[in-house]
């Protein structure tokens, strides 16, 4: 494992919810599913199937396999593969719990974690990426690419399976997000729709952005090249970022420039304040 990946994993482990906190979140999901089954007949069968899955791992597998099934990946095959991955890497369910909590906390339109689990494609794409990334690390790269391509085709979110993404991440709305092969997104980051973390051309090697902890990237922003977006900074909607961004600031424009400095206590990813 590379030193940068070790740091990312250590930060994710530090930020992961405790067992009781994660268990409480999944209990809330089950309780909300029972309540919804009792009040909405058109969703009753779906809620009963979710509850019958039993464990958080199987709930996650069921939702993802139903949402992402295609002719190339029929639901039973996708369910079997995701079950294999989560059985081998149970820590991915802990990371999913952090993502569920992050979206529930930050999205004012979110009624609760059940809504995130069932309906939000940014969450679905991120969990599928975690499975694809695990396969990539095991050397099963063709299979990893197949899963990532399925997500790109079905959900219009294109994340290379080699990209390294922390936990507590929110992909809000998420349509049109592109994250390149050598990109790094640390913990507690929020990314809105149509954001590109891309390269600058045909260069090889380490060529994509490194987004540090607590960053918020506004809708339609484009960040190009192996540059760092400093921790607790904000990239305004529609900006084009070609140079490194210092920590604790807001950048805006084409090309982006620093337009404001933040107090150290501000966490743009959690505040989700779109204003400059």
128, 147 in Cβ contact below 8 A?
A: yes
Torsions phi, psi of 99, nearest 5?
Answer: -65, -45
pLDDT digits (tens, 9 = 90+) for 238-259: 999 999 999 999 999 999 999 9
Among residues 89, 166, 81, which one has the least CA distance to residue 126?
Answer: 166
In this prediction, residue 23 carries a pLDDT of: 84
In this prediction, residue 19 carries a pLDDT of: 66
In this prediction, residue 18 carries a pLDDT of: 58
Tokens of 12: 């994710």
Mutual orientation of helices 19-39 and 91-106 as an angle, nearest 10°?
A: 60
Torsions phi, psi of 192, nearest 5?
Answer: -95, 180
What is the residue whose two structure tokens read 């400059």? 276
224, 199 in Cβ contact below 8 A?
A: yes
Percentage of the chain lying above the pLDDT 90 cut: 87
CA distance 3 to 13: 15
CA distance 81 to 98: 23
Instruction: State yes or no: cis peptide before 25, omega within 30 of 0.
Output: no
pLDDT digits (tens, 9 = 90+) for 128-171: 999 999 999 999 999 999 999 999 999 999 999 999 999 999 99
SS3 call for 234:
strand
Tokens of 221: 């922003």
244, 260 in Cβ contact below 8 A?
A: no
* Helix (H) or strand (E) segment spanning residue 198: strand 196-198
In this prediction, residue 10 carries a pLDDT of: 39
Residues of the chain predicted below pLDDT 50: 1-16
Rg of the chain (C-alpha set): 18
Residues whose CB falls within 8 Å of the CB of residue 57, separated by 6 or more in sequence, listed in order: 83, 86, 87, 90, 93
What is the residue whose two structure tokens read 């995701």? 82
CA distance 9 to 166: 7
What is the residue whose two structure tokens read 């958080």? 56
In this prediction, residue 17 carries a pLDDT of: 53
What is the residue whose two structure tokens read 């993802």? 64
8, 186 in Cβ contact below 8 A?
A: yes
Residues whose CB falls within 8 Å of the CB of residue 46, separated by 6 or more in sequence, listed in order: 118
Q: Which residues pair with 181 in a beta bridge?
A: none
């Amino acid at each position: 494992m590379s030193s940068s990946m070790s740091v990312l994993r250590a930060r994710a482990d530090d930020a992961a919810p405790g067992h009781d906190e994660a268990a409480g979140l999944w209990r809330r999901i089950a309780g909300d599913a029972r309540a919804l089954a009792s009040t909405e007949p058109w969703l009753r069968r779906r809620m009963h199937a979710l509850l019958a899955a039993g464990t958080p791992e199987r709930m996650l597998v069921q939702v993802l396999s139903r949402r992402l099934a295609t002719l190339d990946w029929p639901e039973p095959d996708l369910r079997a593969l995701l079950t294999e991955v989560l059985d081998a890497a149970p820590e991915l369910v802990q990371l999913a719990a952090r993502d569920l909590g992050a979206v529930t906390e930050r999205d004012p339109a979110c009624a609760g974690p059940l809504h995130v689990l069932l309906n939000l494609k940014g969450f679905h794409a991120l969990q599928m990426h975690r499975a694809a990334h695990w396969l990539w690390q095991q050397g099963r790269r063709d299979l990893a690419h197949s899963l990532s391509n399925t997500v790109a085709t079905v959900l219009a979110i294109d994340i290379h399976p080699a990209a390294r993404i922390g936990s507590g991440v929110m992909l809000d709305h998420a349509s049109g997000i592109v994250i390149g092969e050598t990109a790094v997104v640390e913990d507690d980051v929020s990314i809105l729709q149509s954001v590109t973390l891309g390269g600058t051309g045909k260069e090889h090697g380490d060529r994509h952005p490194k987004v540090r902890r607590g960053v918020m990237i506004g809708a339609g922003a484009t960040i190009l090249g192996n540059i760092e977006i400093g921790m607790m900074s904000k990239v305004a909607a529609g900006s084009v970022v070609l140079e490194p961004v210092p920590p604790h600031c807001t950048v805006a424009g084409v090309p982006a420039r620093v337009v404001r400095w933040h107090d150290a206590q501000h966490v743009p990813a959690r505040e989700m304040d779109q204003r400059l």
